[in-house]
Amino acid sequence: MDKFETLTGIAAPMPLVNIDTDMIIPKQFLKTIKRSGLGANLFDEMRFDRSGNEIPDFVLNQDAYRSAEILVAGDNFGCGSSREHAPWAIKDFGIRCVISTSFADIFYNNCFKNGILPIALPADAVEVLMKDAEKGANARMTVDLENQTVTTSDGESFSFEVDAFKKHCLMEGLDDIGLTMEKVSSIDTYEAQAAQARPWV
């Protein structure tokens, strides 16, 4: 998993509330267990019409936001079913940070496991960030995980809270497998001792 330390990038404004996981990645794209390739179908039903043509009004179809790495969204982002494909699709599209006033718990935790930083901020702070994002590609936000701040293109800064363990995992690029591999020496020692003690196993 890629490390997350400091990110400066384009922020896309999506002021919709209750964006659920089926909106993020519709059910017909859940047949794969690969984490790659799902970015093409992120927000599929909002990005494309029934003929597969882009819907021009959708924010990620606008030239200013095609390379967005930050998403500023409305309340209760990631609600609905617990599909992990949702953060897979977000990450594969290139978005590394989602900012909202609140997140669904399962989606929130899945983000950290997939290299995405979800930031919950008060409504007034999100409103400022939303307006900054609406400026387009020339307005770049900076997310500093170490110092736990989000800074607008104009230099206004907001502090955010994050669990210390989740922060450590993101900054070190550790998913569940990576955390296990940190203990590989102890695991090898245990397995060797177990093989000696119970050779019949």
The tens digit of pLDDT for each residue in 48-64 reads: 999 999 999 999 999 99
Q: For residue 78, which of 48, 52, 114 has the smallest C-alpha distance?
A: 114
CATH entry, 6-197, from 3.20.20.105, 3.20.19.10, 3.40.50.300, 3.40.630.30: 3.20.19.10
Which pTM was predicted? Answer: 0.88
The tens digit of pLDDT for each residue in 146-177 reads 999 999 999 999 999 999 999 999 999 987 66
Q: How do residues 80-115 score in pLDDT, each as one tens digit?
A: 998 999 999 999 999 999 999 999 999 999 999 999
Inter-residue long-range contacts of 149-152, CB under 8 Å, 24+ positions, other chains counted: 150/99, 150/119, 150/121, 150/125, 152/128
Predicted confidence at residue 186, as pLDDT, reads: 73
